[in-house]
Structure 1
């Protein structure tokens, strides 16, 4: 009778569903049949429950409500919580909650939801909060089990967990099978058709969870794990990341006091940044502040800023960031733990696989596999692929602190130095390739750092421009490698690497990096008595300070470098030093002295085959001829410079030659030819990302337009070039461009604009005078 009534109700429901407006009699018949079916269903269930032949002993199903309370200071996660809640509930009510038809989106509700992320990120708190939010949709019970699968813990076995679950669901102990498979089948039978919410916290792996899943679509299982558990069929993984900045500050305020945090907002920002926005770390920081009402946030922020003591500060009661990280690390094999530590040698914000390959002296494929293991263990983060398909990784800040701490304790100094030497050697190879692309034909003293030959190489051959773009992704790591070498007392490798970065820093006007690194290297070389390293560094600093207009300092450094090179017998290295001094004297207006140094530089370059210095010396001598009113002689010298750069493939040097050719043609009055040369030069500068060179060309084109009676075009060029020089911090060329703008505004009768620019120039000249200890050198725009 039940089957007949059910079938009739289903048939009538189908007819009603097909009709836009069913007649009253049809609705009445459908309701009557449905009512009969419901009565029969209740009667049959009653009979079954009281029939000892059909109902096993102990089959009563008590409702369980095991969710722990929501964390009192649960903060933020509003967007993530809303999205996960909607995902868990299918964005509509369920068909099994009533007799109506399914709502839109119900079929999309997952049976398993995996919340995954690193230790301390708040997965458990989020799962419990989510459980409370969706609990009304699961009236047959809410179950919570801590599987204790976090690294370093003794995980609960699925066999034991199933016994506990079956007892919670009303099974008699005597009826629970001993075998794991039998227990899993019994669990699926018991939960069939039940509207259950099950939270399996701290799952270790897919196998840890697989036997604990109900066999019904009416239940929802929320799993938390450090891994996304990709092998868990039907699971929807949701990554739980660190907090947003405002959420972290709000959490700190809930624990330490909102008024206290608001009163020291800047210090609060520093604290949560030192915590890496990790919820566990912010909780500990807040708890420590709450227990010490007399502490200022600024004082605590200073303590956390010390990288070597930060992890020690983030510990209170049973909460400990160091312990949380160590659980994941200690669960790895010795080889993976060693890799985790050695990657901290250079304290870099991000890195490719190559440094690990060098540190461990292993093939590329093996290094990639180790990196992936570290990512799966939540000890590294995969960031992205660079434009050439190579993956890049990073530590979370606190994880990096822990890696550096264990590196110092567990890896012998000899092994650290050997690994760092291989990393620096790799960086020297990469920086040397970039230098050859930016400055082919340049001279550097012979390498003193032993080369490292990788067992296998990652990557493919790239065009020069693409190779430089790839090097740009490695540049920050290279800077960190210099600092690491200095910290390890390896002054010679540090000096060699810093020197090979100069071509890239020059092309991209990275003057702050250039100066900071070279000054540190200079101190180390002097401390260690490394005269070659000292000479090279002084020469590079002399070039930088000449570009910055610090001419007296550049002159002193240049002459000191010449003396050291002469003492060491490094005559070829003196060529670029002499050329830089010649250019310095030319800028200062000492033309005869400039010419003498440039001719000496040219002679040394020709004698020792230093092609690049030969090309540059010819350029500078041509510039002197233009200043002296001899543009034709300048063009003759520039044609020789062009040939040198074409023979060596130095396109950037060729770009600067074209730039000065434009000046010569402009001096001759051949404006069309001058414009073509400037545009050719600009194309090359843009090709190499040389914004300073491109801006210099733009200013020259502006001057050309101004002379040709095109004030609007000139104004546009000057304004654009001035913006670039401001962005690069090139105050000399800001000043020269402002001088040109003042002249243009005066010519066009814009007195107010001219005065405004003059005020800006006065302030800039004051700062330049303090830096160079003299007036702004004369220089043609």
Structure 2
């Protein structure tokens, strides 16, 4: 480890493989004889950006290392444990452990005044180093631990050199010290030792130059002067102080630590009597702190960094864990509240004052500077086993001077931000309680009988406290102090969100006070973003919303979001990366943000910020629709709303339109609701209109219904006829999707009347196309063709390729149903060209599906299967579940007609399952009819009749006479084959009725087909 990573077996150096394997092995060696979780290994290799295959890659590395060690006689070197993996190795097999052991022996010899023996051990330890620890391994986690080893090396070097200076070996040390000072220019102790060695060697001018060089570097890098003792050493050299010849000055020699006081400091606060849960966190802390010192390879101070939001219970965990391991630290426990949540946290100087006094240092003996106090503190703890708990740290800089230098002691820190700069720290993240733990805590504080008597109210109370331990403690304490209250009474009081933070206060405990400390410590810009986020009604918000709320570039907003995440005021929602990262509020923190918003943001600024966000949301939705379904054509009767987002950012955000919609769906819903509430009517209905195809694509029927109801009502209240017409179209499409064709017709006709009144030709054409579908379903093929031909003329005239393609697809369906196969093929070929030029994958998939149906009708089964397979690939790619059911059905029928019955059965059953999941009755009816036809082919008449009758019922409910008639004719043949002539005749009689309902052309085709079916039934009779 002490240099480039090397492993030898039988004096032969092993080939450790690639970088990933070396990182895995390095982490296992650093934790030799202790389990390492798979997640820690993944983090070591990939940092914070692991690929989907990361865990598998680690397992491959482990397997390769096991094979390597097995080949050299060590098959059990890496073993699998319950937590992960463990490397088994004796203490003397790892150079870092040998280094630690030799340094420990050197210090014992030094303390026993046997300086030559101590120097011998130090030199043996230092000779083990071949270069920087883990040289060449590029892993942040490994290098963080390596920095701790490097610190031990330099400290040992300083101690050894000091002993050699004491023995008068200054001539021999000048070269070594010069190299050390060049490598570690900020180490004032090394600079002092080099100055003394040079001065004693008669090189006074060079000694003074070392001081000048050291001062320049320290001032440039740290902005401070060298410590007082280094300055005193310079003065002593300038004046040729005789004391320098006798022995080194105090700055260069380690001060003798004061005698250990007889009392053992015990500064921990009282343990928590009603502590519950947190077993995983406690186990991590205990496992790290109770490892035996001998033979474990521990060469760095164990640091446990507990992080979590305000009120989560960090201090409770730290104190409880500290009490549980106190017996392992017989020399005492130190505790300090660093007050990291306030604007002026406690300075390390003040903490060291308390800690040094607790360790027996008299007030008159306390050094004057932070560096000197920290040195004395580390010396006092060098051979002691002490536990230090540093609560509520603001930053790493507050903690670093308080860390001991010897691994005999250990540290637990708590903070509201993750202290990633603490090298080698084990991070322990604390989250909310679950519902059961929350109720248990209430029981322990307020009384178990009381909570058991009102279980529903207790659960509601825990939920209102958002499962936050501090809020639960306050609620429990309020109940305990008011035994005459019912639990339900406190639930009612907390139900008023405006008063919730007032209710969650008891004595010195309060949620508002806890959050205020964190809020006040933020920068003004971060505070502004925090409170403006409360403007939004969505519980999830994306990074772009911050840019819109502040009217600033995205990069600035992302930095401020990171500040809020670090402060635990918001959290990353776990979806999206890069520009698509999303965040969310904890509910109680949202309440506090609302308070700050009301108190600090004028109404005009709130309205302007909301308008920017809603304008940006509309722009994103419109761009996403254009990218997925092609640009709209024709005259734009309304100007585009303002958006604060630059074009380049908008394009990046919606580069994957369907993925963007899935991430932003809840934001869209909340934005449309809020647009209506705030009176931004046009933004409301335009956003809803552009979002409609995405809700339709993924069959989010409830969401789709909500947005159209909100937007239609807003347009009606405002008297906005264009908005009403657009939303009537959206509502009609929803009704059509749910196969409520009567309601759909009513809405499409009302929309058409409004569009004709305003002269909007594009929407007139779309309304006619919508009505054409209903006419076709109802068997009125001539009326449907008329609507479609009028719509096609308009779409062609304005150059709307996507709409024209969609219209040609519908016309081709009518041509094929009338038996005009060649005309249908020509129309579909043109539709496919237009669809591809417009770039809409969904329209292309629908055209391919129609081509498959036409090929089936022409008995071109191989061509049909090819078209359906292409359509299936597209609908699976875009997540169109309804389209998937239709494509699976078509492909199943193609295989059925080709005699591939097993494949056909699998496909048709999949089609039915997808249709049922999507709640699409038309697709379900087609799948049932297909399965019925399959059962006829496989001679399973009972199953065939059941499937076909279900299909007939669904077609009848939807008023789809042509599909009902086609299915009835297959059913009549099955019934006739079974000898049930009367049932077969009833089926054919119903087909006669349907032939009279549909228009003349469709009716004639039904009657033609009826002749052969009736003859078959008569022959059977």
TM-score by length of 2: 0.65
| Aligned residues of 1:117 and 1:226 also touching (Cα < 8 A) | yes
Matches within 5 A, 1:679-758: 679-745=869-935, 748=938, 750=940
Q: Does 1:136 align with 2:337?
A: no
Q: Which shows bigger deviation, 352-361 or 745-754?
A: 745-754
Map of 1:357 onto structure 2: 547
Map of 2:317 onto structure 1: 126
Map of 1:93 onto structure 2: 292
Q: Does 1:71 align with 2:262?
A: no
Residue 705 (structure 2) aligned to one of 495, 515, 531: 515
Matches within 5 A, 1:209-248: 209-233=399-423, 235-248=425-438
Q: Which shows bigger deviation, 183-192 or 482-491?
A: 183-192
| Aligned residues of 1:448 and 1:493 also touching (Cα < 8 A) | no
Residue 601 (structure 2) aligned to one of 393, 411, 414: 411
Q: Work out which of the two has the higher radius of gyration on C-alpha atoms and give 1 or 2.
A: 2
Q: Does 1:114 align with 2:305?
A: yes
Cα deviations by residue, 1:584-636 (Å, 9 ceiling, x for unpaired): 12112232332232223223323433332222222112111222222222222
Distance 2:791 2:487 in 1: 59
| Aligned residues of 1:518 and 1:537 also touching (Cα < 8 A) | yes
Cα deviations by residue, 1:90-109 (Å, 9 ceiling, x for unpaired): xx322xxxxxxx23x35166
Map of 2:340 onto structure 1: 149
Shift of 1:261: 5.2
Map of 1:488 onto structure 2: 678
Map of 2:177 onto structure 1: none
Residue 692 (structure 2) aligned to one of 492, 497, 502: 502
Shift of 1:517: 0.9
Cα deviations by residue, 1:438-460 (Å, 9 ceiling, x for unpaired): 22154585444533253685488
Map of 1:46 onto structure 2: none
Q: Does 1:196 align with 2:369?
A: no
Map of 2:786 onto structure 1: 596
| Aligned residues of 1:87 and 1:110 also touching (Cα < 8 A) | no
Shift of 1:85: 1.3
Q: Secondary structure, in 3 states, of the residue corresponding to 1:436?
A: helix
Q: Secondary structure, in 3 states, of the residue corresponding to 1:67?
A: coil
Distance 1:107 1:512 in 2: 59
Distance 2:289 2:300 in 1: 6
Matches within 5 A, 1:451-462: 451-454=642-645, 457-458=648-649
Residues 738 and 597 of structure 1: CA distance in aligned 2, closer, same or farther (over 3 Å): same
Map of 1:581 onto structure 2: 771
Q: Secondary structure, in 3 states, of the residue corresponding to 2:716?
A: helix
Distance 1:266 1:581 in 2: 51
Q: Which runs of 5+ in 2 are unaligned?
A: 1-108, 125-254, 968-1021
Map of 2:834 onto structure 1: 644
Distance 2:651 2:370 in 1: 51
Residues 378 and 777 of structure 1: CA distance in aligned 2, closer, same or farther (over 3 Å): farther
Distance 2:692 2:661 in 1: 13
Distance 2:820 2:940 in 1: 35
Residues 57 and 641 of structure 1: CA distance in aligned 2, closer, same or farther (over 3 Å): closer
| Aligned residues of 1:120 and 1:278 also touching (Cα < 8 A) | yes
Distance 1:592 1:306 in 2: 61
Residues 656 and 108 of structure 1: CA distance in aligned 2, closer, same or farther (over 3 Å): farther
Residues 379 and 56 of structure 1: CA distance in aligned 2, closer, same or farther (over 3 Å): closer
Q: Which shows bigger deviation, 348-357 or 154-163?
A: 154-163
Q: Secondary structure, in 3 states, of the residue corresponding to 1:572?
A: helix
Residues 647 and 219 of structure 1: CA distance in aligned 2, closer, same or farther (over 3 Å): closer
Q: Which runs of 5+ in 1 are unaligned?
A: 15-53, 95-101
Question: What is the aligned residue count?
Answer: 722
Cα deviations by residue, 1:287-315 (Å, 9 ceiling, x for unpaired): 44555667776776676566555444433
Residues 376 and 736 of structure 1: CA distance in aligned 2, closer, same or farther (over 3 Å): same
Q: Which shows bigger deviation, 607-616 or 512-521?
A: 607-616
Residue 395 (structure 2) aligned to one of 205, 209, 215: 205
TM-score by length of 1: 0.83
Distance 2:551 2:857 in 1: 59
Residues 730 and 281 of structure 1: CA distance in aligned 2, closer, same or farther (over 3 Å): farther
Shift of 1:650: 3.0
| Aligned residues of 1:425 and 1:449 also touching (Cα < 8 A) | no
Distance 2:301 2:943 in 1: 66
Map of 1:32 onto structure 2: none
Cα deviations by residue, 1:339-371 (Å, 9 ceiling, x for unpaired): 112223333343332111122111222222212
Matches within 5 A, 1:42-441: 60-89=261-290, 92-94=291-293, 102-103=294-295, 105-107=296-298, 110-151=301-342, 155-233=345-423, 235-258=425-448, 268-290=458-480, 308=498, 310-384=500-574, 386=576, 390-441=580-631
| Aligned residues of 1:448 and 1:492 also touching (Cα < 8 A) | no
The structure, 1 or 2, with the larger RCO (C-alpha pairs under 8 Å, 6+ apart) is 1
Q: Secondary structure, in 3 states, of the residue corresponding to 2:310?
A: coil
Distance 1:577 1:7 in 2: 98
- In angstroms, what is the RMSD of aligned CA positions? 3.5
Shift of 1:662: 1.2
Distance 1:647 1:553 in 2: 34
Shift of 1:163: 2.7
| Aligned residues of 1:765 and 1:776 also touching (Cα < 8 A) | no
Q: Which shows bigger deviation, 128-137 or 502-511?
A: 502-511
Residues 77 and 713 of structure 1: CA distance in aligned 2, closer, same or farther (over 3 Å): same
| Aligned residues of 2:366 and 2:373 also touching (Cα < 8 A) | yes
Residues 555 and 268 of structure 1: CA distance in aligned 2, closer, same or farther (over 3 Å): farther
Residues 235 and 701 of structure 1: CA distance in aligned 2, closer, same or farther (over 3 Å): closer
Q: Does 1:616 align with 2:831?
A: no
